[in-house]
Structure 1
């Protein structure tokens, strides 16, 4: 009976993923609007939605001062949903942009829901991998001791959680210091919620970003921000455990997210960030599982000379996040 339940659940997620194949993606998303954060709050690096297709809540986003916030519509706006630091004090932390308060206030950088359990998985630059229930509140730490945790995605089939650690030697505060030089000690990790264990899948990565698991759970895509490339790590099949280069010379890829069509993905690019150039060009690139680029969308007008962290497609719209703004950009046709 247990085996049948697991099989039925897996088939359901594959079916839902296949439904998204019929979502038509076209045009250059020329219509722009904003989901503005509360006054004094900034840095919406992520966007995650709870639910399927048209039956979704959100976006949920992580902000600079350590909170995860939920969009409640244009009248209410964003409200507090969860936080990662056990000793966080709202009066002290709310609205802060001081990077050195991260260990006190938290610095969540990425979010991913398990649609079956409705649990929200969070990576925090200082507190590692955490999870919070459907009603929010203080998140529970699942794995800590990382220097710079910064990306996460849940496997829709198995429920395993894939997350990235940007470095073994520096943390997020070091990246803005004069003379900073990145290294190649980043890792891809997997948390098994049944065994409650973390395994290292890849090491020696040059910078991090947000990994993305394919809808059928056969592979995970891994961006390397500083090396301008995206790799494919096989999870099952004859190539399980092997890694292959998928896209090379793509400008500073950050988080990767599944697109509306089955087998397609969006990646947030900040071309010219590393090595630095006079002008950063923010773009969203849609590509397929074979590494074929299908679409490029420029965000240079609304995010002029700013790095972006995320391009999340939801119901035919693109939600764009950046640690340098006080809003989530929404692009539609």
Structure 2
């Protein structure tokens, strides 16, 4: 299986294969129109599309319990099938952690070119996803599979959160520090891996790492606003948070942590189309000052299974900026 290069079967890689953020904004805006409502809804919707597009939907069960539900899947981001499964599962579970919740149960979502790739490889992908979900204390049972020319894998996840202790996109308040819980750079390193086959063990480990501990620490610290940093890059997700809350997020470029080889990857030109689209989309909403182009690309790098961006200080994780009252630009990058 080590000789098989799964990334060569995909047009994009990981979260870089998402629909471009500007197009997605238009699509979600059309869906969010209040021209249709549930008939006699069984539960109250606490978080949906109105908050600016949170990481998951939340419906209330009672005063102390709410259900978190999400789904996430993508094309191969690494060649090793077991690692791809681990990363995809961690990424799907992250949506629940980004809401401050705990994942309870998941089902697999598998798209497989069965005439091109052995089913034994698919089994390794599923095994990787199961192992990460089980490490999170999350049950995995069944799922749905279809055949198609390009492989994709992920999970639909259901979790639980206290309605008064959620992390929301629209709750960032001026005066709060900004915390980032994982280093950036997985996008450019995944692009390099796809082009050359070079394996970056640190990137794999970071992408497969659960956001569980960071989420729990944030909730314990009284943080009430956050999101996970994935396909739209740090800048894209910061802009969405600032837009939803009506604030400005100021990012200290020198304080942002990066994976060891990330800068070398940009210098070598290993930048995905998704990252460049991210930067084109967010640039009109960002005051970059004198920050150079390579730094802008890294800040817009399309992450896969990235960390949490939190409006509050969380012990053990780096502070990379602060929340300000709304200014001329929703996001400011200080060099």
RCO higher in structure (CA 8 A, sep ≥6): 2
Same-fold call, TM cutoff 0.5: no
Give TM-score scaled by structure 2 length.
0.32
- Which structure dedicates a bigger proportion of its chain to helix? 2
Give TM-score scaled by structure 1 length.
0.32
